[in-house]
């Protein structure tokens, strides 16, 4: 994909469908893939925090999550095709995983929420293999990363909010070749 730089963040210029095709092919090849769906809040935060900007620079794909990014690109006369949100991408990938018998590991949100996420996923996507779940209130990600390394999921969804989720993905993505994606508050939406 080509990129459009909005306030220092390089967004991919892609439709949601083309982006999904690319990510799915990478998951099939078990390529280590870090996706950030960045909203204007993330862009502004990256401008103030060089350490976070550096982490974003290591992402394989940064997608425009929010109309503000689409408008910004249009003002720069470098229009982006459409929004690619974290929630929609996660839902599309779960449906694809269901059809293709892929596995996913879910980390994030409050304990009662992640229990509901597991229930909803098991019901809606019965062929998807839930490789594991953990709530988002842990002191040390190390043991969770160790479990992810053992169970080798095709996809890891991390919903602990930014900038923490991107920091954790940057620190631990090496433990498993597959998709790593921060999905913010998406588990709260998915759980009900």
In terms of DSSP bridges, do strands 179-182 and 33-38 run parallel, antiparallel, or are they unpaired? parallel
Prior bond to 163 cis, omega within 30?
A: yes
Q: How far apart are CA 50 and CA 57, in angstroms?
A: 10
Q: How far is the CB of 149 from ligand UDP (least distance, A)?
A: 21
Task: Compare residues 11 and 162 and give the one whose CB is closer to ligand UDP.
Answer: 162
Residues at the interface with ligand UDP (CB under 6 A): 108-110, 136-137, 159-162, 184-185, 187-188
Nearer to ligand UDP, 6 or 102 (CB): 6
Q: Tokens for 48?
A: 């103030």
Question: Token pair of 105, please?
Answer: 């590991």
Close Cβ partners of 139 (under 8 Å, ≥ 6 residues apart): none
Closer of 81 and 161 to ligand UDP (Cβ): 161
- Min dist. Cβ of residue 53 to ligand UDP (A): 17
Comparing every residue's Cβ against ligand UDP, the nearest one is: 136
Min separation Cβ 26 and ligand UDP, Å: 23
3-state secondary structure of 30: coil
Q: Which residues is 181 bridged to in the sheet?
A: 35, 157
Q: Judged by CB, which is closer to ligand UDP: 59, or 159?
A: 159
Please report how close the Cβ of residue 134 comes to ligand UDP at its closest, in angstroms: 9
């Amino acid at each position: 994909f080509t990129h459009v730089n909005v306030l220092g963040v390089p967004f991919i210029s892609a439709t949601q469908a083309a982006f999904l095709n690319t990510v799915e092919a990478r998951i099939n090849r078990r390529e280590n893939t870090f996706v950030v769906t960045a909203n204007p809040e993330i862009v502004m935060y990256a401008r103030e925090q060089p350490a976070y900007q550096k982490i974003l620079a290591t992402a394989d794909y940064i997608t425009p999550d929010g109309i503000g990014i689409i408008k910004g690109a249009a003002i720069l006369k470098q229009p982006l095709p459409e929004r690619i949100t974290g929630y929609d991408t996660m839902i599309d990938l779960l449906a694809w995983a269901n059809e293709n018998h892929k596995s996913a590991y879910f980390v994030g949100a409050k304990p009662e929420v992640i229990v509901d996420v597991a229930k909803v996923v098991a019901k809606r996507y019965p062929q998807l293999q839930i490789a594991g779940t953990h709530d988002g209130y842990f002191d040390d990600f190390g043991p969770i990363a160790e479990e992810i390394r053992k169970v080798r999921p095709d996809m890891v969804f991390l919903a602990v909010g930014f900038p923490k989720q991107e920091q954790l993905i940057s620190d631990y993505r090496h433990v498993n070749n597959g998709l790593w994606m921060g999905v913010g508050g998406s588990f709260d939406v998915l759980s009900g």
